[in-house]
Structure 1
Amino acid sequence: MEKLSEKQILAVKSIEKPTLVVAVPGAGKTRVIVEKFIYLYSSGFDPSRMAAITFTNKAANEMKDRIQRATDGSINLQYISTIHSFALSIMMRNQKYFGGKSGITILDEDDSLVLIKNLISSNDRFNKLINEVKLISLIIQKAKEDFDLPVLLQAYRNAHHVFLDNSSLDDEIKQLNISIARHKIFFEKPLYLEFFKYYQQYLNLNNLMDFADLVLYPTLTMLYDNFARTVIQSSLQYILVDEYQDVDRMQNKFITLISNGTNITCVGDEDQSIYSFRGGTPENILNFENNFEDPVVLYLDDNYRSARSIIQVSNLMIKENYQRRNKAAVAVRNEKGVVDFIQTYTNSEQADFIVSMIKSLISKNGYSFKDFAILARASWLLHEIEEKLKINNIPYNPLRGTGFYQRIEVKYPLYYLGYCLNPENEFLLKKIINFPARGIGEVTFQEIISKKSSENSSLWEALTNSNNNRVKAFVDIIVKLKNAKALVEFFTMLYDIVFKSKWETQIERTSENDYDEEQYIEPEELERKTNYLTLLELCKQADEKYSKPFEQFYLTIISYVEQPHFNDAVSIGTLHSAKGLEFPVVFLPFLCEELIPYTWRGKKADIEEERRLLYVGMTRAKDQLYLLYPESLNGIILEKTQFLDFLEERIFCGGQNLQTKTRKDKINIGDFVEIKGYGKGIVKEKRRLQNGKFLYAINIEGDMIEVIQDYYEIKKIEKNEKKIIKKNLIEKESIERISLDKEFKDKDPVDKDFVENNLINNDSMEKNQGKAILTDDMLKTFSQGNLENDNIKKILNIGEKKKKK
């Protein structure tokens, strides 16, 4: 422990009382956990009776490796694992306290979904639920994760050995029945609860457990069997819990029950709680003092990772959250580092900036490709950046499969396209013949391949001659797809006949049930349809661009899907995928409203969790952090995220010496400009139109001239001309100035009402801006060159303003 700080040593040696270690990003928490395990071992604790619970198998394996290297390598580390593996081990080693269960079959999420569907379809009582399979799965999952005891006791009354063997619990269950009314989803739709009971009974009778049951079953056992709890507690000497903020309520109940109230240390950071869709909650850390008696709370607030400016900015942002402890990260490094706010006109310019910056920093600062990370809120935002990287020969690796082209809803449709182009491709046929699952297994596939060989036929002939009804249905799908005349038609048809029923029944139909399932669906699943729509947009562009769109699009795109893994490459992925990682240089693109905080189905995600997610992204950076926000995405107007608005206000008003960069030719209110044919003046108002263009109101010698970006030649004035223009404007003060609102004062009521009813409200514009006054339909007419529309004439004053002689 010689190289540990005083704070870290204190955390390591705190073993007499339940201990919470709150560790900011870059505080070395993993090292503290490893050192504490070694310290306990050297103090006489039995490693076979010590548990270290991690969030992932990878983290568990890394921790085991570090402990083995620091000791003689022969100690028993059986309980260093994920919480699910740990709970299963506890049950297997104490079978007699868990109803004598052995030979349990564990169902993963897909297995559970299939079982739920089969149980519904095979029981007339539940047939009406057949289109709500995913919703029911989510409700069951949520009830378990939230440790919803009134519901759980109903569901497990005939599905758990403790209740089956203890009739005295019936009164408690009857009392809890009353509180079911508080649970809207079960109270309004009691059939859901009835199915939950049926599902759990089936699992129990067939010696099955779903993933949540691995923790829930022993939790209920310890809660209602004091003797079993005492035996299990006495079998463990110490418990360490990593990433405590990611533990759901059920898992937290398991942890509190299995510890004896003193032999536990939990390590985490409520500011990094970003997995609410899995049940994770900052409450674990915030309520630690209420869950454990006489606890010790320690803070590891020294950040060894990031430069000062990065810590400064991330601290400023996260302190706006209310659900947090009063703490702030402290920079250990002396380097100032770089934090840049980068504004671009378009998403394409944003991608160009990132590429240019990577090249520049490699050339000038000696960085390698692996030193860079590009992290976005959603994977569908990354596809253009991926393309720009590839065009510029910059190698990149998607983080944990979260690149746009690695998503199943993108790559599998492309496999369908590839097979339709080449129906003799055995590799692609194997990829798609049972995706999505349609009951065509390996045996059936091998029969097709054998038939091809024995009959000396083509693969397509062997496929079309199959007598298997499911194979025939698959062939019908391929035939329909092969008849598509354009890429957009192909992928639209593919979605409608193949994927829509699989994806929309699982996600979109749930919106009919007034149930906020998006709160705990994986972000990648929520993005599925958006990713597919992005793919359709790429198809539309290819249909217009290529002479042979099917072949050329496939050959272009498949290289992104099947790209190799590089040893030295830029990392690219979602903010969630970057948890626990660090990079010298981090780019965070698309920091815009509706993207972060994320909006799905018109609902904004939890603001505090979204702020925590951005905080996690920012604190991945060691040396340089680039916060990027384009003004438009494929022609759609974007607003800078409220998180950055707050940051920039605090930083620049507070006199902080941080950098910001925007386009030098960007025109803002107060700029002195020259309009070709009109003269020179000052920009008084600026408003964004719905087509992305800006409408400027410019004071030229007392007259207010309205011009639209790109339809007029506007350029900024050199500094030495500004004084002359300003002087002329002051001399003209006696001249009546025509404001945009007053422009319509003398118009007839019909025209005034027309204008007022077609105002475009845009709160994202600079302060003191009024309302822009062009509708999309008018702009469309205007952009097509038709200036004869009377309303356009009146609003734009075409022909009414005199050109400056």
Structure 2
Amino acid sequence: MEHTDAGIELSDEQLRAVMAEERYVRVIAGAGTGKTETLVSRIIHLIKDRGVPQERVVAFTYTERAAAEMLFRVYERTGGGGINAGSIGKMFVGTIHSFCFNELKKRFGYDSYTPMDEGLENAVLMRFLEGRYDVENFKKVISIFYEEMLDRKELKRVHPEVMGLIEEYEEYMEEKRLIDFPRMLSIYHSKLKEGYRPEIEHLLVDEFQDINRLQFEIIRLIGKSCSVFVVGDPRQTIYRWRCSDPSLINEFERAFPGTATYYLTRNRRSVPEIVRLANSIDEAYLSSPRESMLRPVREERGTVSTFSGYEAEIAETIEKSVKGGGARYSDFAVLYRSVKGNASGLITEFRRRDIPFVIFGNSAIFSMPEMEAIRTVYKWFVDASRQGGDPPEKEIGILSERFGRPAEVISADLARAREKFRRTSGTALDAFSQAYKMVYAAIGIKGLDSTKAEDHGLLLAMASFSKMVGDFEQSVSLGGRNGHWKTYVRGLLRYLSDSESERIYGISADENRVRDAVTVSTIHSAKGLEWNVVFLPDIDKLRSRPSRPVLSKDLYDHWRYSGGGVEHYNLAYVAVTRARDTVMFVRNRIFGGGKNSSEIRVHGSKASPRKYSIFDATSISDYYVCPHHYYLGSVCGFVQGTDRMKGFGESVHRVLKAVASAANRDRLTRGQVRKIVEREVHLPYATPEDVRRVRQDVEEKVMGVLDYLKSAHVQSTEDGMMHLSLGTSILRGRTDLLVRPDSESIEVIDYKSNLSGDGDDMKRYSMQLAVYRKMLEGQGMIVRSVKVLNLRDGKLHNLDAGPKIDKELEKCIAGMSAGEFRGRPCAFCGECEYRDICRFTDTDMRKKG
């Protein structure tokens, strides 16, 4: 195989797997053996050497972070390598959930459904169950029911009340057009069983050891009409509690006769001492086949030792290593099974010594004392049952120290804000989101500097808490609010205190791994990452307490879910193999290298910046208007608040697509347009009266442009995720657009309900359409013009899509890649959702604007 990527060489093991001719291939890839590079090379081999159309290649990854990393490498490797890098954009790389939901939207009419992440699902379940069943246990029941593919009749026989709740919940989700991840896969699996097959020639699956039974069956059915190439490592199975079943990697060859198995054993990441440690854990507890044992490639000496110190000694060791000039803070990680309850002393010590650090992992935000304080203060703030009283004194002291504002000033500002909130509480759909912004403003969020690692980490944690609030707010706003305000407040207070809710909200590695700082993380969140030096405190406490069965043990393998078995040894294996040069066990009695030492070895410390950045195409215009708004919303994830009209734009888009398609076939009557509008307009947070009014308005607007849609032969492009390489960045987005084609080119038609035509408005849309045009051109289309159709008056507006806006697009991408997020004065500031928490609103920037 010809290598076109500078400096990349495949081992013989990797090359054999990449070039495999068999239809079904299973690769057992040990830690640090280059499984991602093997998958990337396989993709390039299929497209370049075998001539497989790139849209017929699909790669499933376990996380979106892993998908982004794979895309990075594909684009790096295809530059100048005989493949048009832009053409890679039609290939799907992402999670199996993303793939299945895309298919359901494109083929089976689910494009008006809202997918629920774990946080929103938890909040919706709390509202739905209303105390009839424990939320955490019901979530487990749902996962087991769908992902273990339990028989409905058998579950109804054994647990009739549980099956009744599941059926009621399914009806509730259908009514609200919601869909959770397990049901998403279950519905798609049913379509496959009915005979549907996606147009795929080659399916690649990463982290195969972490799939569940339902995912396995989806892969098996897809594999009846295509080749399947899977990569996994049973030693790194750490998600059994999420229904993952490591036995399926062994079942693969029974499901796919003629399977060829390849082993990747040459570990390039770690020094020999760490490789020997990993193998010793494997031999003693995991019993892998001899042919899968790791073999070190590196020859430098490393360190594996037991470190007797506590938090102060860990911090001192890191500080000395960095100040001695041989290391960077980003070379170090401290990994726990659970950050909350374990890392607070370390965090305090890091702050005392001014050591920059970042935290990620579920529940991680509440390991920070200021976040616990914020939770307590917020609950006091919204609790209408407390008619008076000052803010909680202890928590105000913590916030005063962290935000650098006098305690009495914070207390006074909070009291004034609380009084204002009480006068308006319950009148706005987004009242709880307004409350978090008022609390944040009062405690001094505007004093945080996002360019500093610790402040950036705190902003991420505060944004995560805002999502916790926002998820509950959305759950009680479905269909418009019709309950009593005090009832909502009581529900919110319970939700904020719920241990299952707390577990969900954290900081992901892709959000917070951007600075020169020590990483504090859970082992689960660290999977797939690596550092030069890894500290492992109390690793002999990895074993979790076995959980109780939530259904009859006759129905499913409870032992696998319970935390029993060898999963704590899998965690230890994953933890030690994150290290390149040094593993430091802290207070360890089981594993270790014998000697008690604080010696640190770091070979070749470097910042290791990514060559590529991936951005959502829709976020470019946001950055164009204000980089700091983009930072607060897209980088941190601060919730804006529940909007009664959420879903309006997507609804109009679906209506226009359907109308344009039908108008090109037949002459539509008003009655036919009305049926389309009733089917496609869905506003999840609007009242029935609001929905009726909006549908009438949309019907009138569509009738006003119906003749144009037919006479211009307007069509829609195929809905799908596309990626486009622009310099050192990748744009990712959907190009589900209306276009007016001729024999050689297309005219892109965007649409707005009411285009004001002022300068800022037109600038925003010009940038949005410039991105669309770039992505379409990346697919080989010729775009002759871009226009906006104003639905209010039926007029078309020409937008500047020439070199000038292209240069602005280049500036935006360069600024986003460089992390330049300074606020920009514009007319939008007065209407900005983040004006109360933006640190630039109190400067003289707006005056200068």
TM-score, scaled to structure 1? 0.55
Amino acid at match of 1:16: E
Match of 1:103 in 2: 112
Any conservation in 2 of the 1:270–1:286 contact (CA below 8 Å)? no
Alpha-carbon distance change, 469 to 52 in structure 1, aligned in 2, over 3 angstroms: closer
Any conservation in 1 of the 2:523–2:575 contact (CA below 8 Å)? yes
Any conservation in 2 of the 1:350–1:628 contact (CA below 8 Å)? yes
Which of 167, 189, 198 is the matching residue for 1:197?
A: 167
Uncovered stretches (5+) of structure 1, i.e. residues with no partner:
122-128, 152-176, 344-348, 451-467, 478-496, 508-521, 529-562, 630-639, 649-657, 664-805
Deviation of 1:289 (Å): 1.6
Which of 197, 210, 215 is the matching residue for 2:185?
A: 215
Match of 1:704 in 2: none
Deviation of 1:428 (Å): 11
* Partner secondary structure for residue 280 of structure 1: coil
* Partner secondary structure for residue 583 of structure 2: strand
Any conservation in 1 of the 2:22–2:260 contact (CA below 8 Å)? no
2: CA distance, partners of 1:270 / 1:41 = 29
User: Is the counterpart of residue 619 in structure 1 residue 573 in structure 2?
Assistant: no
Match of 2:768 in 1: none
Over the aligned positions, Cα root-mean-square deviation in angstroms equals: 4.0
Match of 1:25 in 2: 31
2: CA distance, partners of 1:54 / 1:242 = 5
User: Is the counterpart of residue 370 in structure 1 residue 330 in structure 2?
Assistant: yes
Identity percentage over the alignment? 24
Any conservation in 2 of the 1:374–1:573 contact (CA below 8 Å)? yes
1: CA distance, partners of 2:66 / 2:244 = 17
Alpha-carbon distance change, 412 to 621 in structure 1, aligned in 2, over 3 angstroms: same
Match of 2:59 in 1: 52
Amino acid at match of 1:70: R
Match of 1:398 in 2: 359
User: Is the counterpart of residue 6 in structure 1 residue 15 in structure 2?
Assistant: no
Which of 509, 520, 532 is the matching residue for 1:572?
A: 520
User: Is the counterpart of residue 336 in structure 1 residue 284 in structure 2?
Assistant: no
Q: Deviations over 1:185-210 (max 9, x none)?
A: x5553111112122223434654422
The equivalences for 1:230-269 within 5 A come to 232=198, 235-260=199-224, 263-269=227-233
2: CA distance, partners of 1:582 / 1:449 = 36
Q: Deviations over 1:519-573 (max 9, x none)?
A: xxx9x72999xxxxxxxxxxxxxxxxxxxxxxxxxxxxxxxxxx99872111111
Amino acid at match of 1:73: A
Deviation of 1:109 (Å): 3.4
Deviation of 1:385 (Å): 1.0
Deviation of 1:244 (Å): 1.1
1: CA distance, partners of 2:101 / 2:128 = 26
1: CA distance, partners of 2:278 / 2:98 = 35
1: CA distance, partners of 2:205 / 2:304 = 34
* Partner secondary structure for residue 186 of structure 2: helix
2: CA distance, partners of 1:429 / 1:253 = 54
Amino acid at match of 1:215: L
Q: Which has more radius of gyration?
A: 1
Alpha-carbon distance change, 80 to 572 in structure 1, aligned in 2, over 3 angstroms: same
Deviation of 1:64 (Å): 2.1
Amino acid at match of 2:46: L
Any conservation in 2 of the 1:103–1:207 contact (CA below 8 Å)? yes
The equivalences for 1:528-677 within 5 A come to 567-592=515-540, 595-599=541-545, 605-629=563-587, 643-644=590-591, 659-661=595-597
Match of 2:47 in 1: 41
Alpha-carbon distance change, 215 to 429 in structure 1, aligned in 2, over 3 angstroms: farther
1: CA distance, partners of 2:437 / 2:283 = 62
Match of 2:452 in 1: none
Deviation of 1:470 (Å): 6.6
Any conservation in 2 of the 1:321–1:608 contact (CA below 8 Å)? yes
Match of 1:313 in 2: 277
* Partner secondary structure for residue 26 of structure 1: coil
* Partner secondary structure for residue 65 of structure 2: helix
Match of 1:355 in 2: 315
2: CA distance, partners of 1:588 / 1:237 = 43
2: CA distance, partners of 1:198 / 1:56 = 30
Amino acid at match of 1:577: S
Any conservation in 1 of the 2:332–2:533 contact (CA below 8 Å)? yes
2: CA distance, partners of 1:113 / 1:565 = 27
The equivalences for 1:66-215 within 5 A come to 66-71=73-78, 72-75=84-87, 76-95=89-108, 100-120=109-129, 130-148=132-150, 150-151=151-152, 177=153, 180=154, 187-204=157-174, 207-215=177-185
Q: Deviations over 1:70-118 (max 9, x none)?
A: 33222133411111111122223333xxxx5543332333444454455
TM-score, scaled to structure 2? 0.53
Alpha-carbon distance change, 596 to 65 in structure 1, aligned in 2, over 3 angstroms: closer
Any conservation in 2 of the 1:261–1:293 contact (CA below 8 Å)? no
Alpha-carbon distance change, 425 to 284 in structure 1, aligned in 2, over 3 angstroms: farther
2: CA distance, partners of 1:449 / 1:19 = 52
2: CA distance, partners of 1:423 / 1:112 = 35
Alpha-carbon distance change, 525 to 117 in structure 1, aligned in 2, over 3 angstroms: closer
Alpha-carbon distance change, 198 to 354 in structure 1, aligned in 2, over 3 angstroms: same
Any conservation in 2 of the 1:382–1:404 contact (CA below 8 Å)? no
* Partner secondary structure for residue 313 of structure 1: helix
* Partner secondary structure for residue 32 of structure 2: coil
Which of 375, 385, 388 is the matching residue for 1:413?
A: 375
1: CA distance, partners of 2:367 / 2:415 = 19
